Amino acid sequence: MLFSEFPMASGTLANRIVMAPMTRSRTTQPGDVPNDLMANYYQQRASAGLIIAEGTPISAVARGYSLTPGIYSQQHIEGWKKTTTAVHKQGGKIFLQLWHVGRRSHTDIAGQQPVAPSAIKQPDQVYGPLADGSFGMVETSIPRAMTIEDIEQTTADFVQAARNAIEAGFDGVELHGAHGYLLDQFMRSVSNQRQDEYGNSQQNRLRFPLEVINAVNDAIGADKVAIRLSPLVGEGFKEVDSDIIEVTELLLKQLAPMKLAYVHFSENIGDYTEATDSFRQKIRDIYPNPIMVAGKLTQQSAQALLEKGYVDLVAFGTPYVTNPDLVQRFKQNMALTEFDADARLTLYGGDAEGYTDYAAHT
């Protein structure tokens, strides 16, 4: 089933193997503009049934990691056209992951105080500018609680970013609602302690994510919209929220009639709970539309998930860093190039080394 076609976004994926979104921090400065190097990187991996391009901030305040590409200026749109053109020339499909990090940022990265559901600091570090002019890990700033006007503006920013992505040639967009970023922060009581219509009850914590999803659906069509979730992963990979699985189930019940492109579950990262067969079956019962899973999958475990009917698409992250021809390697049972310590050193920032210089198997 890995190599069977799958219908999506008014088209057809060549296979069910997806390249998961991964931050690589290779933009052109100033302006965080997507460039030719990035286009080459994605083109090399276009044999995936679908590529989900890296997390892309929808505005300046949405930014939480330096050197990540934006999608909120004409320069960004023109830069991303290089990537979408390159992928489509190879017959591939590509979605853009729309990103707002919320409280997981620093003032020097966002250009202003980060915003969040509540003024609660995330005990974490993010990739930002250092005093000597280089880049490295910096402690997050204390955010300010979003006003109703902030929430409305952020929804509008998601909509404009989605429209920009379609103008740039993407086949659709994935909303980043996982890993302790803004949409996830609203869903979890550990980060959302509001007492207005956007907080407290489970349904109120879903209000903002649902408003964003509905607005983006209206703008570009629900068949071109997806969302990534991580209910089995701690908020920011650490803090566990007591009812996030219940909240996610409630969300999925309301998403099911929308017929989104897919719902993408990110698993097996940070502090996580193992997905059981009963969990997967319950999710499938609630949500009959396309489901994708990512998280340390192997070819064998991915195939098993497909065969059991729990998922329709399987996503791979780090294997795609070092194996641009991953689909071919799977098909021919070839050994994978290991994601080792050297590969990890070149994950963020830099040039072609450790980015586009991994060879296809010969």
Cα-based torsion angle of the residue sequence 227, 188, 158, 21 in order, rounded to the nearest 10 degrees: -40
Residue pair 81/39 in contact (Cβ under 8 Å)? The answer is: no
Check 72, 127, 181, 320 and give the catalytic one. Answer: 181
Q: How far apart are CA 59 and CA 110, in angstroms?
A: 9
For 268, counting Cβ atoms within 10 Å of its Cβ (0-12 exposed, 13-18 middle, 19+ buried), the class is middle
Q: Bridge partners of 174?
A: 97, 226
CB atoms within 10 A of CB 307: 11
Nearest to 234 by CA among 287, 184, 279: 184
Q: DSSP string covering 125-176, please?
A: EEEEE-TTS-EEEEEPPPPEEPPHHHHHHHHHHHHHHHHHHHHTT-SEEEEE
| Residue 159 CA, distance from chain mean position | 16
Q: How far apart are CA 172 and CA 145, in angstroms?
A: 30
Active site residue 127: no
**Catalytic residue numbers, as ranges:** 181
